[in-house]
Amino acid sequence: MKRTAIFSVLAMALMLFCHNVFAYDYYVNGIYYRKVTQQLPGGGCGETILIVVNDDYPNTYSGDVVVPESETINGESYRVTYIGSEAFYGCENLTSVTLPNTIVNIGFHSFAECPLLEYLEIPAGMRQINSNAFSSCEELDYIFIHATEPFFLWDDAFADINDHVHIIVPCNCIEAFEASEEWEGIQLYDDCGHVGVGEAETVILSVYPNPASETLTIEADGLVTIIDEMGRVVRTLFVKRKETISLEGFSSGFYFVKAGDVVKKLFVE
């Protein structure tokens, strides 16, 4: 398995705690937690934090789950920083999970076999995603990564979903991620519309009608970004051959539709 010395040390540090971490300790606002105290590299105990875990088999998380940045238990406030191994494993009715900026680690098989999960945002402070974290998530189409620098990634973190998931990194960060050994061979996109090394040489983009009023048809193959006259991204989507979208909520005026390095000017009536 690929490792760098720095990431290997980090991986070990992230897994050290000062007491047993099995089973859940608390059930608060619909989420199961373990309370653990992190072990400092030089010995002794550091911050006490909360890990999101499951409630044993069968796992009962369902619908839209929002993980908080912190939770107060018995009058004490603790940061929520880890998604534990198999935390959401096999949640057949789980439709979405919102992760806070405090999350730094996603555990083994944590989101595996969640058939209704289509979209996930990875917080900017993420440090590690473990093996098979998203395996067998057949409908998982988009993973938006907000970290601007590559973090530690197990070789098979995206096992079973590499052929259909779109992993999107912040604008113009593709080269940094692709230069990292841990991210080698993973097809990446950025939210400016750029595609990594797997990009096709010819980018096709067609938008109609133009002017448009109620709907817009886009013909492309890949990430498409719609930008207003002020340079703000108002819509990002993946198009496979052709897709028609609603323009409800779009103000009248000029927009730019971008796929790769191809840009089309659009007027919305």
- pLDDT number for residue 118: 85
| Strands lying side by side in the sheet with 142-145 | 119-122, 142-145, 166-169, 188-190
| CA 215 to the chain's CA centroid | 29
Question: How far is 82 from 198, CA to CA, in rounded Å?
Answer: 32
pLDDT in the model for residue 239: 87
Decide: 168 and 144 in contact? Cβ < 8 Å: yes
Torsion sign (Cα): 77, 82, 87, 91: positive
Residue found under tokens 């002020």? 230
Residue 9 has a pLDDT of: 40
For residue 261, what are its two tokens?
């390095």
State in words which class domain 5-190 has. alpha beta
Angle 49-143-122 from CA coordinates, rounded to 5°: 20
Please report the pLDDT score of residue 19 as a whole number: 45
Q: Do the beta carbons of residue 259 and residue 193 sit within 8 Å?
A: yes
Residue range(s) occupied by CATH 3.80.10.10 in the chain: 5-190
Return the pLDDT at 198: 52
Measured CA distances, 44 to 47, 48, 50, 75 (Å): 10, 12, 18, 24
CATH number given to 206-268: 2.60.40.3080
Q: Give the three-class secondary structure for 86.
A: coil
- Cis-peptide into 209, omega within 30 deg: yes
pLDDT on residue 193: 62
For the chain, 269 residues long, the average pLDDT of each consecutive 10-residue run is: 43 46 81 90 86 82 94 96 94 93 95 90 95 90 91 85 81 88 84 61 83 94 83 82 93 88 87
* Res 201: pLDDT: 45
pLDDT at 15: 46
The predicted structure's pLDDT at residue 14? 46
Instruction: Quote the pLDDT of residue 160.
Output: 76
Task: Quote the pTM value.
Answer: 0.72
- Position 225 scores a pLDDT of 85
Residue ranges of the chain assigned to CATH 2.60.40.3080: 206-268
Is residue 105 within 8 Å of 122, Cβ to Cβ? Answer: no
Query: Residue 41 and residue 10: Cα distance in Å, rounded?
Result: 10
